[in-house]
């Protein structure tokens, strides 16, 4: 008899979480992110048939085809994935939505839908695969390009960048993090915590474009990001279904309990950082920008704010499957309406 | 009518017109934001209570307060509820427009006016009734701030007395209009009484216009098309609504919110069986509708022309990826901002082909409030059956004006959720592919997230029958050819045209939407006054029925009546007609922003027929 295969808590093998073969460039940061997504959903034991994968247009937006092949996917129009994701979650609140966007798809054409998604606190994991350029159209600057960063073809960006994390925190997202495609451990912990969180997760992942933006003079190159990455805390995630206690010295670690009972242990590194303090989180982002550093880790979390579904006071069942008798008022209702109009 | 019906006048003015019962129009000229809507609706509702066919049309500016507004109530013995061009009875409340309003009246008309305006000096061929509104309102409304609003109810009282309206019926209409607001009812009832008593004491009847109750008339409801469509959406079982405010469509979603809160909240849990979201723009509205429909909900949005323009890209996605969507287009005058508070049928062409690439969309075109209700329900069935966007082409005249109508019938059939794959079907068809044409009708079988059926990847990029990314030329051609086939299948499922062929008629009319009312009346005018008998076909949907070509074949000349400059329906028809059929088409076009009227249609047809 063959050795039993490795399975997760719902009895699925890792292969059940894989997607199609990537068509992105070899070494693209986005592929590393897809791998972490596969691991996170496997380790969390999420049923892939409950998941919807959404994206806009661009290199990043191709990646939902490369993970969770047994989930439904929707590659929407450029910059408009948030609205499609919103509709899908309103139709069926039992789904788990993960949207993948890029820095152009989010920061330029999609900035309008992005900011309104953040305001609503819709339950969705919104990942920006951030490389500061438009890869699919051969390397033009995107709105997250830093001042002074240089294109492969020589142009220098002089406009201030949009900081998607600052925006997300200001606008009401309840889980905001920044990570790096090259930091496997941090990214995996954050993705697993994102799955456990209820509300909008905005995860900006620096993901170097090895073809158009990985040269000297670019602030989004692998080497530059690695050198300027300042990890604000060490993130350890313990899902609700695992009975693990993390021992820590008093005062060294902050514990955050998520809605489903999962726990985040945030071990302090150097200076004080409290990710439940909105003002502090925004100040940290301003300070790190001034220092030319990139703060990564869980920047801000508000685990208990009602999500959009709760605010809309919707029934517990998915709206999409309500039977006709619950969505078509009876004869007496129509008679009452007509009577009022006579 | 006999000459003895002529009104007898003593003194000042004369009316050259015969006694006119239940067949004239009243126009109230006022300033918007002055609260005249209550008074106008009470008057309109009173006529319906009397069993007199009537309609009300509001001509208002794109402004909150302070600009001129005209509200026209037309009573018609014969049930013509389209616009009538001439005003028979004017209520001049707006000093700014009063002079022009009076100067443009036909001789024999009557005018109630605010006394200080001294309008009686302008003409001698009208009947004038001066009313000191400010003096009358003060005693009935001690609160000076409310007087501006309450003085309107005084003209209702004046009109009731002058036109022979039963005062108790008007009070009944007032109660209906204001409902439970007891204080407002009392205040307005006092104003109504003050007007009545003033008229009784000071204004002897001198004009020929009177209302008489019609015994045994069927009970009618009074509703605007937007509210009617909202009721249809609710009865269709809509669950997700996303919208962005835009005149003249906003009140569709606002009415829907009101009805859903009342009738679609679970009694046991107090929770909503719906989600209504005011989105950040029309693009997001349609994106939410597409996301919700993709996940299996019945979803809709409502907008007007500028929103339609913005929805182009998403509409193409829904067409190509085959996602249902219901979109109400309450048309207004374009292009650009255009005349945002005026009516038009100007979005037909852009909507039929909305988005880049080869696209064709299903359109439903209601002409009445009843059709707003029934077509709203049909729209969801068609969108799910054909897995594609369906546009309901209303217009401002239909959507925002009040129309009388028989009470709506309860839907007797279940909803059509279309081809949704289940285990049995999967077994029967063997291998499933999202875009595979299993049944030869161009309509593939569909799965949605969470239904336990096979998943697929939805995309607006090229795809093969198994929903895989493909740039292969044969995959692309087969796919868009199948979409064309699906469109042809839809042709047979759309609401058929309404056809009235008159034996031996050489001339036919084709019209759609609100142009119907003017055409119906014009046909009577042509027959009765000119001896010209005509046939009529009312288009109710796109893709077109084959009956349209047959209708054109059966006539020598066919007048296509529409409310746009470019003869948009005629252009769309030409794509499907033979040269001989095209040669028979003539256009009657009306595009001033005001609803089309019968007299204009009649005059245009007579001119083109060489009769005048």
Identify whether residues B427 and B518 lie together within a single domain.
no
**N-terminal to C-terminal alpha carbon distance within chain A:** 78
Tokens of B271: 């929770």
Q: Is residue B340 part of a domain?
A: yes
State the CATH number of the domain containing residue B300: 3.40.50.970
How many separate domains does chain B show? 4
Measured in residues, chain A has a length of 342
Could you read off the pLDDT of B310-340 as tens digits, one per residue? Answer: 999 999 999 999 999 999 999 999 999 999 9
Q: Residue B407 pLDDT > 50, yes or no?
A: yes
Identify whether residues B347 and B473 lie together within a single domain.
no
Q: Is residue A301 part of a domain?
A: yes
Among the candidates B187, B210, B233, a domain finishes at B210
Q: Is residue B412 part of a domain?
A: no
Q: Is residue B218 part of a domain?
A: no
What residues of A are in contact with residue B459 (Cβ under 8 Å)? 73-75
Residue B12 confidence class, pLDDT cut points 50, 70, 90: very low
Q: Is residue B216 part of a domain?
A: no
What residues of A are in contact with residue B180 (Cβ under 8 Å)? none
Q: Is residue A248 part of a domain?
A: yes
Q: Residue B408 pLDDT > 80, yes or no?
A: yes
Nearest to A87 among B222, B289, B447 (CB): B289
Closest residue by Cα to residue B50 from B165, B200, B199: B165
Are the Cβ atoms of A341 and B414 closer than 8 angstroms? no
Q: What is the pLDDT of residue A137?
A: 92
Distance of CA B606 to the CA centre of its chain: 27
Identify whether residues B270 and B386 lie together within a single domain.
yes
Give the pLDDT mean for B70-80.
95
Identify whether residues B485 and B506 lie together within a single domain.
no
Are the Cβ atoms of A84 and B270 closer than 8 angstroms? no
Identify whether residues B349 and B365 lie together within a single domain.
yes
Q: Is residue B411 part of a domain?
A: no
Give the pLDDT mean for B545-563.
98
Q: Residue B13 pLDDT > 60, yes or no?
A: no
Could you read off the pLDDT of B103-131 as tens digits, one per residue? Answer: 999 999 999 999 999 999 999 999 999 99
Q: Residue B371 pLDDT > 50, yes or no?
A: yes
Total beta-carbon pairs less than 8 A apart between chain A and chain B: 216
How many separate domains does chain A show? 1
Q: Inform me whether the C-beta atom of residue A125 falls under 8 Å from chain B C-beta atoms.
A: no
What residues of B are in contact with residue A74 (Cβ under 8 Å)? 291, 294, 457-459
State the CATH number of the domain containing residue A84: 3.40.50.970
Q: Is residue A253 part of a domain?
A: yes
Among the candidates B435, B456, B491, a domain finishes at B491
Identify whether residues B381 and B298 lie together within a single domain.
yes
Q: Residue B576 pLDDT > 70, yes or no?
A: yes
Query: pLDDT tens string for chain A (342 positions)?
Result: 566 679 999 999 999 999 999 999 999 999 999 999 999 999 999 999 999 999 999 999 999 999 999 999 999 999 999 999 999 999 999 999 999 999 999 999 999 999 999 999 999 999 999 999 999 999 999 999 999 999 988 899 999 999 999 999 999 999 999 999 999 999 999 999 999 999 999 999 999 999 999 999 999 999 999 999 999 999 999 999 998 888 888 888 999 999 999 999 999 887 889 999 999 999 999 999 999 999 999 999 999 999 999 999 999 999 999 999 999 999 999 999 999 998
Q: Is the dihedral of CA B598, B599, B603, B604 positive or negative?
A: negative
Measured in residues, chain B has a length of 612
- Supply the range of the domain harboring residue B592: 498-608
Q: Residue B569 pLDDT > 60, yes or no?
A: yes
The β-bridge partners of B329 are B303, B393
Are the Cβ atoms of A72 and B287 closer than 8 angstroms? no
- Supply the range of the domain harboring residue A81: 14-311
Residue of A nearest to B294 (CA): A88
Q: What is the pLDDT of residue A249?
A: 82
Identify whether residues B193 and B71 lie together within a single domain.
yes
Q: Inform me whether the C-beta atom of residue A325 falls under 8 Å from chain B C-beta atoms.
A: no
A186 contacts: CB under 8 Å, gap ≥ 6: A179, A180, A231, A235, A296, A297
Q: What is the pLDDT of residue A1?
A: 52
Average confidence score pLDDT of chain B: 95
Q: What is the pLDDT of residue B33?
A: 80
CA–CA distance, A59 with A28 (Å, rounded to integer):
10
Q: Residue B3 pLDDT > 60, yes or no?
A: no
CA–CA distance, A223 with A210 (Å, rounded to integer):
11
Give the pLDDT mean for B531-536.
98
Identify whether residues B97 and B43 lie together within a single domain.
yes
State the CATH number of the domain containing residue B541: 3.40.50.920
What residues of A are in contact with residue B220 (Cβ under 8 Å)? 342
Identify whether residues B466 and B527 lie together within a single domain.
no
The β-bridge partners of B403 are B223
What residues of B are in contact with residue A114 (Cβ under 8 Å)? none
Q: Is residue B262 part of a domain?
A: yes
Identify whether residues B228 and B194 lie together within a single domain.
no
Are the Cβ atoms of B460 and A75 closer than 8 angstroms? yes
Q: Inform me whether the C-beta atom of residue A82 falls under 8 Å from chain B C-beta atoms.
A: yes
Nearest to A327 among B239, B277, B469 (CB): B239
User: What percent of chain B clears pLDDT 90, i.e. is strictly above it?
Assistant: 91
Identify whether residues B296 and B326 lie together within a single domain.
yes
CA–CA distance, B165 with B600 (Å, rounded to integer):
31
Q: Is residue A49 part of a domain?
A: yes
CA–CA distance, B599 with B43 (Å, rounded to integer):
25
Q: Is residue B414 part of a domain?
A: no
What residues of B are in contact with residue A105 (Cβ under 8 Å)? none
Q: What is the pLDDT of residue B35?
A: 79
CA distance A321 to chain B (A): 7
Identify whether residues B34 and B139 lie together within a single domain.
yes
Q: Is residue B415 part of a domain?
A: no
Q: Is residue A223 part of a domain?
A: yes
């Amino acid at each position: 008899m063959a050795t039993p295969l490795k399975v997760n808590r719902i009895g699925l093998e890792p292969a059940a979480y894989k997607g199609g073969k990537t068509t992105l460039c070899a070494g693209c940061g986005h592929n590393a992110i897809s791998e972490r997504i596969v691991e996170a959903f496997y380790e969390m034991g999420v049923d892939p048939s409950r998941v919807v994968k959404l994206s806009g247009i661009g290199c990043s937006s191709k990646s939902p085809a490369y993970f969770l092949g047994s989930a439904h996917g929707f590659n929407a129009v450029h910059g408009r994935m948030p609205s499609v994701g919103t509709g899908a979650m309103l139709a069926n609140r039992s789904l788990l939505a993960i949207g993948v966007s890029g820095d152009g798809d989010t920061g330029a054409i999609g900035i309008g839908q992005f900011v309104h998604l953040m305001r609503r606190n819709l339950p969705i994991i919104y990942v920006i695969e951030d490389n500061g350029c438009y890869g699919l159209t051969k390397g033009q600057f995107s709105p997250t390009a830093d001042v002074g960063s240089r294109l492969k073809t020589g142009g220098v960006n002089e406009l201030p960048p949009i900081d998607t994390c600052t925006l997300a925190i200001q606008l009401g997202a309840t889980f905001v993090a920044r990570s790096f495609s090259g930091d496997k451990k941090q990214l995996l912990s954050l993705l697993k915590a994102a799955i456990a969180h209820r509300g909008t997760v905005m995860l900006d992942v620096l993901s170097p474009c090895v073809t158009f933006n990985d040269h000297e003079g670019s602030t989004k190159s692998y080497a530059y990001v690695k050198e300027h990455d300042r990890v604000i805390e060490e993130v350890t995630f313990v899902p609700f279904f695992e009975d693990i206690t993390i021992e820590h010295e008093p005062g060294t670690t902050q514990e955050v309990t998520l809605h489903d009972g999962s726990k985040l242990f945030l071990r302090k590194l150097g200076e004080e950082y409290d990710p439940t303090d909105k003002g502090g989180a925004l100040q940290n982002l301003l300070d790190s920008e001034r220092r030319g550093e990139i703060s990564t880790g869980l920047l801000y979390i508000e685990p208990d704010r009602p999500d959009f579904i709760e605010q809309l006071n919707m029934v517990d069942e998915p709206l999409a499957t309500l039977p006709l008798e619950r969505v078509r008022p009876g004869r007496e209702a129509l008679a009452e309406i007509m009577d009022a109009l006579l | 009518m006999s000459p003895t019906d002529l009104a007898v006048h003593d003194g000042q003015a004369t009316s050259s017109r015969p006694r006119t019962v239940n067949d004239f129009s009243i126009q109230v000229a006022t300033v918007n934001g002055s609260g005249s809507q209550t008074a106008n609706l009470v008057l309109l509702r009173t006529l319906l209570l009397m069993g007199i066919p009537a309609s009300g049309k509001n001509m208002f500016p794109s402004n909150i307060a302070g600009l001129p507004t005209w509200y026209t109530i037309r009573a018609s013995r014969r049930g013509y509820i389209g616009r009538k061009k001439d005003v028979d009875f004017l209520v001049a409340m707006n000093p700014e427009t009063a002079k022009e309003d009076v100067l443009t009246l036909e001789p024999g008309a009557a005018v109630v006016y605010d006394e200080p305006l001294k309008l009686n000096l302008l003409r001698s061929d009208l009947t004038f009734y001066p009313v000191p509104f400010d003096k009358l309102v003060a005693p009935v409304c001690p609160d000076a701030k409310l007087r501006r609003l309450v003085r309107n109810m005084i003209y209702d009282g004046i009109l009731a007395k002058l036109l022979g309206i039963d005062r108790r019926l008007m009070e009944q209409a007032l109660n209906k209009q204001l409902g439970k607001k007891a204080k407002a009812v009392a205040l307005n009832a006092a104003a109504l009484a003050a007007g009545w008593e003033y008229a009784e004491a000071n204004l002897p009847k001198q004009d020929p216009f009177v209302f008489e109750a019609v015994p045994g008339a069927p009970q009618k409801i009074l509703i605007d098309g937007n509210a009617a469509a909202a009721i249809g959406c609710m009865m269709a079982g809509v669950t997700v609504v996303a919208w962005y405010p835009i005149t003249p469509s906003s009140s569709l979603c606002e009415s829907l919110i009101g009805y859903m809160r009342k009738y679609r909240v679970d009694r046991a849990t107090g929770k909503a069986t719906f989600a209504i979201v005011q989105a950040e723009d029309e693009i997001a509205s349609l994106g939410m509708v597409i996301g919700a429909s993709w996940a299996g909900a019945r979803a809709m949005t409502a907008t007007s022309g500028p929103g339609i323009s913005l929805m182009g890209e998403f509409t193409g996605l829904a067409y190509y990826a085959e996602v249902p969507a219901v979109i109400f287009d309450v048309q207004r005058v374009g292009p650009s901002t255009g005349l945002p508070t005026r009516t038009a049928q100007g979005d037909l062409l852009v909507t039929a082909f909305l988005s880049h690439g080869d696209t064709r969309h299903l359109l439903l075109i209601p002409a009445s409030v009843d059709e707003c209700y029934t077509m709203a329900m049909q729209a969801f069935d068609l969108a799910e059956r054909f897995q594609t966007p369906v546009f309901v082409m209303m217009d401002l005249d239909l959507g925002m004006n009040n129309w009388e109508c028989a009470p709506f019938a309860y839907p007797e059939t279940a909803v059509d959720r279309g081809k949704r794959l289940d285990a049995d079907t999967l077994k029967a068809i063997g291998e499933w592919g999202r875009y595979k044409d299993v049944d030869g009708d161009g309509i593939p079988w569909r799965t949605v997230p969470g239904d336990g059926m096979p998943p697929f990847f939805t995309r607006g990029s090229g795809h093969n029958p198994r929903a895989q990314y493909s740039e292969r030329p044969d995959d692309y051609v087969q796919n868009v050819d199948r979409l064309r086939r699906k469109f042809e299948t839809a042709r047979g499922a759309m609401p058929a045209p309404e056809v009235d062929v008159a034996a031996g008629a050489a001339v036919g009319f084709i019209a759609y939407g609100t142009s119907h009312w003017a055409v119906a009346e014009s046909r009577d005018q042509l027959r009765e006054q000119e001896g010209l008998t005509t046939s009529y076909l009312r288009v109710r949907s796109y893709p077109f029925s084959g009956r349209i070509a047959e209708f054109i074949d059966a006539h020598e000349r066919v007048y296509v009546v529409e409310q746009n400059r470019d003869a948009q329906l005629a252009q769309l028809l030409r794509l499907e007609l033979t040269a001989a059929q095209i040669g028979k088409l003539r256009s009657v076009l009306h595009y001033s922003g005001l609803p089309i009227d019968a007299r204009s249609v009649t005059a245009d047809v007579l001119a083109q027929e060489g009769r005048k």
